[in-house]
Amino acid sequence: MATNNGGDKGTRNLVIVMVGFIVATGVIFSVISNRAASNVEIPAAVSATDGYGIVLNPSASPKIDVYLDYQCPACKSFELINGGYLNEITVQKKAKVVYHPMTFIGRESILAANAAACSADENRFVDMNLALFQSQPAGKDTGQWQNESLIAIGNSVGITSESFKQCVNDGKYLNWTRNISEESGKANVNSTPTILVDGKPLDGATRSDPVKFRAALEAAGVK
């Protein structure tokens, strides 16, 4: 230390201050930008008391929560294995089904979740949900899911209205995905898909076996 000259010491201290500044700014920015707001646009079918999820058949029971990410391959498998049955009982109003499109995988998860929320406003969420998984790109944030292609996916299941197109292009529900993230965190959901039946998670074996899945839902009161 004794042989130090002033210039070197100045550089060193400047570096320390700059790195400290970067860390502090980064932490503050990260906390603020991931915080949910209570005044965001939310789809009509969304209920704050159900973790800001998209609620189908609000007055039916049992309650089935589906936590997913549209870019998650295991969620695609779940939809392809059990989506048919789940959609059938949804249409027949035999259960309250709440979808929580999480967005931890990447940017295109957010765009897809926005498009799914837009489809909910057209009362076509179930079809859009399936169509998104069917067109899931291989790999994350590949560039294949942009607003234009998401609108095309909507069109493919018959959602052709101008309001849907505008909703996707405006990114109307982009900020709502933060509320989903925060509430999913509070529910301690740490992987997708997570399926809760009346609040209790299904294990992996039940999720990936259509017979067991059906049995679990019937045991919970789906007739």
Residues that bind other proteins (CB under 8 A): 1, 3-4, 8-9, 11-12, 15-16, 19-20, 22-23, 26-27, 30-31, 34, 102-106, 181, 185-186, 188, 190-191, 204
Going by C-alpha positions, the residue among 207, 220, 187 that lies closest to residue 72 is 207
Q: Which is nearer to other proteins, 19 or 152 (CB)?
A: 19
215, two tokens: 């049995």
In the complex with other proteins, which residue's Cβ is closer, 5 or 49? 5
Q: From the CB of 34, what's the least distance to other proteins, in Å?
A: 6
The token duo for 58 is 């609000």
Q: In angstroms, what CA-CA distances link 207 with 25, 72, 94? A: 42, 15, 19
Q: Least CB distance from residue 13 to other proteins, whole Å?
A: 8
- Sheet of strand 63-69: strand arrangement: 46-47, 53-56, 96-102, 63-69, 194-197, 200-201
CB of 141 to other proteins, least distance (A): 10
Phi, psi for residue 83 in degrees, rounded to 5:
-60, -40
CB of 60 to other proteins, least distance (A): 29
Overall residue count recorded for the chain in this entry? 223
Closest to other proteins by CB, 57 or 179: 179
Tokens representing 142 are 């590949």
Q: Nearest approach, Cβ of 11 to other proteins (angstroms)?
A: 6
Output Rg (C-alpha) for the chain, integer angstroms.
22
Q: Rank residues 14 and 44 by Cβ distance to other proteins and give the closer one.
A: 14
DSSP letters, 34-77, are T---TTS---TTEEGGGTTEEEESTT-SSEEEEEEETT-HHHHH
Q: Which is nearer to other proteins, 34 or 163 (CB)?
A: 34
Nearer to other proteins, 8 or 170 (CB): 8
* Shortest separation between residue 120's beta carbon and other proteins, angstroms: 22
